[in-house]
Structure 1
Amino acid sequence: MKRFTLALVAAVLAAGCGPSGPPAQPSAEPSSRPPAGVSVSLAQWRSDETAHALEVAVRNTTRTPVHFVDVQLVTPSFRTLPPRRVDATISTTERTDLQIPYGPAACTPERLPEVRPATVVAHVSTGGQAPRRVVFDVPHPDPLLARLLRDECSEFLIKEAADIAFGPGWTESGKAMHGNLVITRRGDGEVTLNDMGGTTHYIVTPGHRPLGVLAAGRQRLEVPITLTPGRCDPHAFAEAKKAFQFPVRAAVDGGQERVVIVVPPKPLQDRLTAYALKTCGLDGG
């Protein structure tokens, strides 16, 4: 009898001290359909481009206000960022924009990826009810996401082979600024710089076209560039959102031409702004 009792106690203790299986996982928050008459689409203003943001354009065809607590873009084509708090109540409207950031593109070193389906996930409430999680389907393929993915991954493919940057030595001569683009090898392949475009504020005049070729065995290349003001009205300088985003067209090993956006460092931006204001007679001198 004692043996049986001891064995029973040991079994109970072992059961109490042993593993009890994996801990229970919290149940996923249930998704639900959007409120009737409420839909979304995606858009992007020029001011959004430099902020890596886009607009969730909300359409509400009902008379019931809808409160958006937060909004989030979810797609395999871009890294998913945490929801953006918006706290916006939207009544009847053809379009009301909610700005949100979007993550870096999911690029691959082999080729340009195809854009994947996307949804907009939001917590919304109507009629004073508690917020609930809803999922808005974005019509696929979305042209904006397709363009953003193409542009970002095109730049990625070129940057895998070489870094393209403004050189440090820029000088003012007459009514022009003269300097170099510096191409530094990062990966394999021959990199051809075909052309460099201007911006909303500056005209680019290369020394020649194509700009130059970074041969497969070469580590560094410098190409001469001349910049002159593209606009001299005060309004242009007040709205300089993309003044320093210079598109450079390049290709690797004779492949498809792709665009890389090259931005000068802040000290050079300040020098270029001061030069342009002086050249345009807007420096107050």
Structure 2
Amino acid sequence: MAVATALAGCAAGPVGDGAPPDGVTVEFVQLRSDVAARQAQVQVRNGTDEAIAVGAVRVEDQRFDGDATRAIEGRTSTVAAGGTTDIRIQLPPMDCDGTDGAMTVLLELDGETVEAPLPDPLDVIGPLHERECLASKVMDAASLSFASFEPSPAGEPATLVLSVEPTGEAAADVVGIQTTNLLTFEAAAGTIADTYRLDLEIAPTSEPTEIELPLVPLRCDPHAVQEDKRGTVFTLEIALDGVPGEIELAAPEDMRGQILTWVGDWCGFGG
């Protein structure tokens, strides 16, 4: 029977020797803390009367450019009888030529390879595939990134700078940027809007530009900062050939730390 080394190292991938034992079920899960790192989890439930050992894990899907495997390879997870264990996996890039598919997971279970459909009850992968493939098309027109962050005193907006560098190869419209669960934008009239309008048209002849975004905290409860997972992941509203869509753009990790520190200081509970 196939073993863990086959799961991890065979390019074509092993063929499962059969289904998991009766009582062992699997499910795809993604927590908020997984999103920024592009990770997820395979939840293994052991409904049998004995503990099981789960070694190598591989998730296949036509929408993936490659397979999803354990975030830390070489580990073995013991799932107690009647217990549940979440095994963290690293998601691969998306294959934008891939058709809608269904995930399959191959597990090294007590030294044998088993194969099973992997349900995605919250429909994580479909929208992720759509967003990332849209982002890839947008990147054909321009490189988008957060270039800098300038903190501000309490009561005044900070400045988050969005850098737009056209490629000269394609066109796109950046319609606006949405409020996150932690941050929003101060409008010119001093009001707060869920979407800060940008209305930026990117053409092949466009020059690089930087847009200063007036950032203010959306909330000031300390636990919102302490438990933040998605507060610095922004949604950009995009249009390609007149068709609207959304992509996500996250602040770099060092900038994320600067923003969270600023929120604490702005709100009066910083260290």
TM bucket by the smaller chain? 0.7 to 0.9
Conserved? CA contact 1:211–1:223, under 8 Å: no
Alignment equivalent of 1:221, drawn from 203, 209, 213:
209
Normalized against structure 1, the TM-score is what?
A: 0.75
CA deviation vs aligned residue, 1:3-49 (integer Å, no higher than 9, x gap): xxxxxxxxxxxxxxxxxxxxxxxxx6762322122121111111111
- Match in the other structure for 1:196: 177
| Cα distance in structure 1, aligned partners of 2:53 and 2:269 | 46
> Which residue of structure 2 aligns with residue 246 of structure 1?
234
The answer as to 2:264 corresponding to 1:277 is yes
Counterpart position of 2:53: 67
Q: Equivalents in 2 of 1:36, 1:30: separation in Å?
A: 16
Alpha-carbon deviation of 1:135? 0.8
In the alignment, the residues of structure 1 paired with residue 257 and residue 159 of structure 2 have an alpha-carbon distance, to the nearest angstrom, of 15
Residue equivalent to 1:150? 130
8 Å contact from structure 2 (residues 235, 248) kept in 1: yes
Report the Cα distance in structure 1 between the residues aligned to 2:123 and 2:269, rounded to whole angstroms.
Answer: 40
**Counterpart AA for 2:99:** E
SS at match of 2:206: coil
Name the TM-score, length of structure 2 as normaliser: 0.79
How far 1:219 moved relative to its partner? 2.8
Secondary structure class of the residue paired with 1:211: strand
Contact 2:236 2:248 in 1 (8 A): yes
What amino acid is the match of 1:43?
V
Could you tell me which of 111, 114, 117 is aligned with 1:134? Answer: 114
Larger RCO, structures 1/2 (Cα 8 Å, 6+ apart): 2
Runs (4+) of structure 1 moved beyond 4 Å?
Answer: 139-142
Determine the structure 1 residue equivalent to 2:191: none
AA matched with 2:230:
K
Alignment of 1:168-179 (within 5 A): 168=148, 170=150, 172=152, 174-179=155-160
Residues 248 and 259 of structure 1 are in contact (CA less than 8 Å); yes or no, is this contact kept in structure 2?
Answer: yes
1:122 aligns with 2:107: yes
Greater Cα shift, 40-49 or 262-271: 262-271
Alignment of 1:1-285 (within 5 A): 31-78=17-64, 79-83=66-70, 84-93=73-82, 95-108=84-97, 113-125=98-110, 131-139=111-119, 143-168=123-148, 170=150, 172=152, 174-205=155-186, 209-254=197-242, 256-284=243-271
How many angstroms apart in 1 are the aligned matches of 2:120 and 2:151?
Answer: 49
Deviations 1:43-74 (A, max 9, x none): 11111112211111222332232221221112
Q: How many residue pairs end up in the alignment?
A: 247
For the 8 Å contact 1:206–1:224, the answer to whether it is kept is no
Name stretches of at least 5 consecutive residues in structure 2 with no aligned partner: 1-13, 189-195
Which whole-Å CA distance do the structure 2 matches of 1:183 and 1:258 have between them? 18
Contact 2:131 2:248 in 1 (8 A): no
Q: Provide the residue aligned with 1:25 in structure 2.
A: none
Of 167-176 and 30-39, deviating more is: 167-176
Report the Cα offset of residue 201 of structure 1. 1.9
SS of match in other structure, 1:93: coil
Contact kept, 8 Å, 2:141 with 2:204, in 1: the verdict is no
Tell me how large the CA RMSD over aligned residues is: 2.7
Q: Whose radius of gyration is greater, 1 or 2? A: 1
| Partners of 1:140 and 1:270 in 2: CA distance | 32
